[in-house]
Chains A and B, each alone.
Chain A
């Protein structure tokens, strides 16, 4: 049966009002789902700040924090909706051709043309 030694963390997600996304609220320590739900209710709902809670045993959560998978070292900017980041490539090309970066035209010049 539950003793203090068998307490484990449960993660609590809360919805503030109908239609809102579930947001992580924090965690509680409890020996089982029933008491975890009671404690979640007291810590994240007793002031009427939630309309729904999700209470998840932390060890049931699939955890992925591998930086090789999440932050690969090579450039991934081509996977972004904006496509390649051109600034650095342009700077490198100018370096090779010896051209300087064109200055921004003043507004007077722009109008005179």
Chain B
């Protein structure tokens, strides 16, 4: 077998270097392929996630529209007479009315409790 000294490259040394380079390139390529495959898998995963989220969003929107349609039917008479209850209840007069109602309740509640106790 033809052996080369350390200082003198033998006839197969060039082939070994090329082989090494080729191996490295193959390794790099397989790494790249693996990386691309990972990215594609990530891409597929993200696409699936996006589609799932889109479906969820569409389903939520559908439910929201259904609920909104039902609510619009419920407020027909308020809308018919252009009554915005939120705006009315934010006024100082409404706060006073609520306070009066609370005060009345503070009186009637013990009385009703007393009546219940007496009946019992």
Q: Answer yes or no: do A and B interact.
A: no
